[in-house]
Amino acid sequence: STLKPFIYALALDQGLLHPKTMLKDAPTSFGPYTPENFDHRFAGPLPAQEALIRSRNVPAVAVAAKLSKPGLYDFMRLAGVQKLQGESHYGLALVLGGGEVTPEELAGMYATLANGGISQPIRYTQPA
């Protein structure tokens, strides 16, 4: 779930959706991959904003499947995630945490999101 904001941010940036775009949260297969929600329930149609707030897995995977370059894998590589295997190893399972990301790498990705897409190195400071 920690990667979902990046999927939606990429989709917003690529013009694929806006916060009120209706998404489907229903049993869905993406080739051999059939994601489920953590509660094993489906909410039906809901706006993208609500899908993100409620951390629904199926809509997030559906959005990720529509991304062009950069997709989530490309974004993670550009963000400096080091221990990723090849993109084909993960497929859409990367969306739901199928890859290894360190807390420092994740903090850097969130800092980039908060900084309008501009990446800066993580700095460590001593308490005053």
Q: Kindly report the CA angle at 24 between 18 and 26, in degrees rounded to 5?
A: 155
Q: Kindly report the CA angle at 64 between 51 and 93, in degrees rounded to 5?
A: 100
- CATH number at 4-114: 3.40.710.10
pLDDT level of residue 3 (50, 70, 90 thresholds): very high
Residue pair 58/25 in contact by the 8 Å Cβ criterion: yes
pLDDT at 115: 86
The 10s digit of each residue's pLDDT in 8-65 is 999 999 999 999 999 999 999 998 899 999 999 999 999 999 999 999 999 999 999 9
For 128, the token pair is 């005053």
In the chain, domain spans: 4-114
Q: Is pLDDT of 85 > 80?
A: yes
Instruction: For the beta carbon of residue 30, count every other beta carbon within 10 angstroms.
Output: 16
Specify burial of residue 68 (Cβ count, 10 A radius: 0-12, 13-18, 19+).
exposed
CA distance 4 to 113: 12
Q: Is pLDDT of 112 > 90?
A: no
